[in-house]
Amino acid sequence: MVLDLGQIYNGPYCSLLLAHMGARVIKIEPPDGESMRQRLPGEEIPAFVLMNSHREGLALDLKDPDGHDIFMRLVAEADVVIENYAEGTMERLGIGYDALAAVNPRIIVGSGKGFDPEGPWAGRLAMDLTVQAMTAVMSVTGFPDMPPVKAGAQIADIMGGVTLAVGVLGALHQRSRTGEGQHVKVSMQDAVIPALASNIAGYLETGGTLPERTGNRQNGLAVAPYNVYPTSDGWVAIFCVSEPHWHKLLDVMGERDRFGGEEFATMPRRAARMDEIDAVVESWTKVRTVEEILEILDASRIPSAPLLHVSDLLESQWFRRDGGMLEHVPHPTLHDARAFGSPIRLSASERRAITRAPYIGEHTGLVLSGDLGLTDDEIADLRRRGVVK
């Protein structure tokens, strides 16, 4: 059993992965809902529905002594607690790791952090924007003659969440030998750093002489063609990893006369004349549609890819199928509700049929009666006093 105190994306994504693999997850929110619900109070939020399938919803006031007591009774039965509150919040609520381990030494607490609480950036507010700024992701993203720009995806939240799931499962594995739980911490900043492997290695190799940002060109500016080119109706990524790719591209573009010579015959020579090469590829792509270009390049087995939009993902029958990454989930109030599927395909496990994210407190009664044996009268009293919802 996993008790999920997660909010927004970081903690909830960790719990979602565990839930997809079969864990029972009780999502515990304050009576007015977790932060994500605050955006549109009283309404269902598409982002909340995306991230909170496979949860039982329990709304509980942890600041109330009776609410605290209910939480601790659940902890005594649980395997895992997931949280991504600001540093110090768990302790202020009297539910820090030590307090939980005192009632259940087997408990594993997974804490999603923004920055390492012991490091020099500990005090900074951790949101996706600030973590991207302080991991150098921003400094390496964008065009060299333009300002740095964030990755438009919430990579810090999600990389932190999935890495936390690795730590929690590692701790479960260890517990199967030692019988003891532990506190697992993963900061978003630490989780993002390994994605800078090429940037860091490039800096170490060259002493920082390469531009930090290379747009859509290869980080080391060592491969050409390698870019995203405009077409008459969108964008297409094209790159030539090997000599045969280059020669086939010259043939389909009809440019062997101008570009087939010795001055373009090796990758280093092409890389040195990247501007000319990008210009000729672009002159060929921009008068054709994405579909035409892909048909021609695929036929010649030249590496390429269309640039897809969010709308393309949502319209994809593959993604919206049962078990797809953006599965349609029937919802009473939202028109086209989607829920994140599992990116993990397990050959020996049945897929868990997707469930709608809970309404606030949807399963409060079931959990209090089923797990803790509370009577209907006791639950009604807790509700009346606002301890649960």
- The torsion angles phi and psi of 28, rounded to 5 degrees, stand at -110, 115
Give me the amino acid identity at 46: P
The neighbour count for residue 344, using CB atoms within 10 Å, is 11
- Taking CB under 8 A as the criterion, the residue among 154, 231, 285, 364 binding a second copy is 154
Among the listed ranges 88-96, 271-279, 313-321, 369-377, the one in contact with a second copy (CB under 8 A) is 313-321
CA 272, chain centre distance (Å): 37
Beta bridge partners of 28: 58
The neighbour count for residue 126, using CB atoms within 10 Å, is 25
Beta bridge partners of 82: 4, 110
Identify whether 32 is a catalytic site residue: no
Name the nearest CA neighbour of 83 among 144, 12, 34.
12
Among the listed ranges 61-69, 225-233, 367-375, 376-384, the one in contact with a second copy (CB under 8 A) is 225-233
Q: How far is the CB of 192 from a second copy (least distance, A)?
A: 7
Q: Return the structure tokens found at 14.
A: 């960790």
Is 325 a binding residue for a second copy by CB under 8 A? The answer is: yes
CA 21, chain centre distance (Å): 17
Among the listed ranges 16-24, 54-62, 68-76, 257-265, the one in contact with a second copy (CB under 8 A) is 16-24
- C-alpha distance from residue 257 to each of 249, 250, 275 (Å): 13, 9, 18
Residues 122-141 that bind a second copy (CB under 8 A): 123-125, 127, 129-130, 133-141
Residues 352-371 that bind a second copy (CB under 8 A): none
Beta bridge partners of 237: 228, 305
The 258-287 contact track toward a second copy, x by CB under 8 A, reads ------------------------------
- Taking CB under 8 A as the criterion, the residue among 76, 279, 308, 380 binding a second copy is 308
Is 230 a binding residue for a second copy by CB under 8 A? The answer is: yes
**How many Å apart are CA 7 and CA 323, to the nearest integer?**
24
Is 197 a binding residue for a second copy by CB under 8 A? The answer is: yes
Is 329 a binding residue for a second copy by CB under 8 A? The answer is: no
Is 84 a binding residue for a second copy by CB under 8 A? The answer is: no
Is 332 a binding residue for a second copy by CB under 8 A? The answer is: no
- Smaller CB distance to a second copy: residue 18 or 90? 18
The 44-83 contact track toward a second copy, x by CB under 8 A, reads -xxx--xx--------------------------------
Residue with tokens 């390496």: 140
Cα atoms in the Cβ-side hemisphere of radius 13 Å centred on 285: 26
Query: Which of 157, 190, 275, 377 is the catalytic position?
Result: 157
The neighbour count for residue 267, using CB atoms within 10 Å, is 16
Among the listed ranges 52-60, 69-77, 277-285, 339-347, the one in contact with a second copy (CB under 8 A) is 339-347
- Taking CB under 8 A as the criterion, the residue among 77, 251, 263, 312 binding a second copy is 312
Is 86 a binding residue for a second copy by CB under 8 A? The answer is: no
- Taking CB under 8 A as the criterion, the residue among 72, 93, 99, 237 binding a second copy is 237
Residues 155-184 that bind a second copy (CB under 8 A): 155, 157-159, 162-167, 169-174, 176, 178, 180-184
**How many Å apart are CA 16 and CA 162, to the nearest integer?**
9
Residue with tokens 């630490």: 190
Is 15 a binding residue for a second copy by CB under 8 A? The answer is: no
Name the nearest CA neighbour of 19 among 6, 34, 38.
6
Q: How far is the CB of 377 from a second copy (least distance, A)?
A: 39
Q: Return the structure tokens found at 215.
A: 């747009």
- Smaller CB distance to a second copy: residue 94 or 303? 303
Task: Provide the H-helix boundaries in 146-224.
Answer: 155-178, 188-192, 197-206
Is 334 a binding residue for a second copy by CB under 8 A? The answer is: yes
Among the listed ranges 81-89, 188-196, 252-260, 378-386, the one in contact with a second copy (CB under 8 A) is 188-196
**How many Å apart are CA 146 and CA 218, to the nearest integer?**
17
Residue with tokens 């390469």: 210
Say how many residues touch a second copy, by CB under 8 A.
129
Catalytic residue numbers, as ranges: 157
